[in-house]
Structures are given as C-alpha cells and as structure tokens.
Amino acid sequence: MDFCFFIPVIFGCPNKIKQDDDHTPYLCPKCHNPQLVKARSRTWFELCWIPLIPMKKHAIYICGICQFRADQDKL
C-alpha cells in the first residue's frame, strides 16, 4: 500500500531589518523629515518560516515615515 505525503515546503529569502544603537536621526532625502536612522539589513535563507542560514548583510539608512532605504556607503 502506498502512502503519499505532500508536505508543502515553503522557502524564501526575506530581509530582516534591525535598527542600530545609534539613534541619531538624519534628514530623509525623499520626504524631508528627520526620521532617517541607521539600520542593518540581513538576508536570511528561510525554510517554512524558520530562518536557517544568514546570508548577505549590509548597513543601510531607513526612513520611519516613507520607508525610504539606502545603502550607508552610497549616501
């Protein structure tokens, strides 16, 4: 007798953004509010919503109002 189990394997590479300890606000170039803060963005390889392997990591600026993002070394 054959039993077939179909287990949905859901994977993805989402970005997790963590704000830096440095809370100095910068002026956002998009919405011109002083809401731009330093953060770290890290891409994870995720399997069934469980982050397994940390991948790319980079330092970014993120705006709390308009969600504008930029790499720290590009500004």
> Which residues in this chain contact Zn ion in the complex, by CB under 5 A?
28, 30-31, 63, 65-66, 68
In the complex, the smallest distance separating the C-beta of residue 36 from Zn ion, rounded to whole angstroms, is 7
Three-state DSSP state, 26? strand
CB nearer Zn ion, residue 31 or residue 70:
31
In the complex, the smallest distance separating the C-beta of residue 16 from Zn ion, rounded to whole angstroms, is 21
CB nearer Zn ion, residue 3 or residue 23:
23
Q: Which residues of 12-36 are buried (b: 16+ CB within 10 A; e: fewer)?
A: eeeeeeeeeeeeeeeebeeeeeebb
Beta bridge partners of 63: 36
